[in-house]
Amino acid sequence: MSFAAPQALRALVARALENSGASSANAASVAAALVAAEIDGQKGHGLARVASYAAQARSGKVDGRAAPRVTQPKPAALIVDAAQGFAFPAIDLAIERLTALAPQTGIACAAIHHSHHFGVAGRHAERLAERGLLALIVGNSPKAIAPWGGKRAVFGTNPIAFAAPRAKAPPLVIDLSLSKVARGRIMAAAQKGEKIPQGWALDKDGNPTTDAKAALDGAMLPLGDAKGAALALMVEILAAALTASHLGFEASSFFTAEGLPPRVGQFMLAIDPGALSGGAFAERLETLLAAMLAEPGVRLPGEKRLAGRARAATGEIEVDDKTLADIENLAR
């Protein structure tokens, strides 16, 4: 393992993406998101994505120079066109506009289409909460999960994220994907030739499997079984149908440079808590959290990410040597 300063990593990633055809503004947006994910311990959404992002920019599967555009068809509704570019510049634009709009209207939403992998959903929700807004964010992804009772993947892992502002503490962030485990864990097991636990996935014939490679050719099982599959359906409706985007089974891979752009979608909802609570939101939230923390062994969601940020604040982030070398080669 190696250590690198966050600022130096952001500059390195941005240079690697610019060398692959991304504009400087887009490269900076993507680099900030990937390094933030690495700091928060979400390595599957962090620096490991740089090589595939760069390859997709070079092949044209992602338009690295795309400029997202926003329209406002209704007073509290935004449509953001990611223009088949990276998702993060479109997310940045949506957050900027929602931050201005939600305090005026009480509640506002943004539908993002022609989009791509949007990384750590919780971080986008958290950014809105840092601006005093309640946030709910969902996004769809290429097929990975079968409908409950089915054999073939239809839904993506379809993350859901929620964040609430706190008066004297960092926002409360809840972030989960709807597969029983991250697909990256199955990919890692396949690369190492290791078995996976029963109950994680099905093979291509719909049979439970412990073979990681067979699982990658089949479907992942949802978190919470039938309930998780229902939530994946809900996300697919909000993130794809509502945003006029590709459904999970229509979207191409986030990992390979081949094929057409995935054109997935994201949906963001921002709420001004003061508008609906009469100013009581902060007190009610803290009363709830205090009751939770009064129970021995209870911790709030998201504590791991705050610990990672505290370590990064010392000036350096631990990075896998091969991943760092690959990025350095792209940046030359």
User: Which fold would CATH assign to domain 1-65+302-332?
Assistant: Hypothetical Oxidoreductase Yiak; Chain: A, domain 1 (1.10.1530)
pLDDT of 187 over the 90 cut: no
Q: If you average pLDDT over every residue of the chain, what do you get?
A: 95
Same fold: 1-65+302-332 with 66-179+222-277: no
Tens of pLDDT, residue by residue over 10-30, are 999 999 999 999 999 999 999
CA 65/CA 83 separation, integer angstroms: 9
pTM over 0.75: yes
Residue 313 is predicted with a pLDDT of 85
Tens of pLDDT, residue by residue over 89-122, are 999 999 999 999 999 999 999 999 999 999 999 9
pLDDT band at 302 (very low <50, low <70, confident <90, very high): confident
Which of 1-5, 70-74, 204-208 bottoms out in mean pLDDT, i.e. has the lowest?
Answer: 1-5
Tens of pLDDT, residue by residue over 47-90, are 999 999 999 999 999 999 999 999 999 999 999 999 999 999 99
CATH top class, domain 66-179+222-277: alpha beta
Residue 189 is predicted with a pLDDT of 85
Domain boundaries, the chain: 1-65+302-332, 66-179+222-277
Residue 215 is predicted with a pLDDT of 92
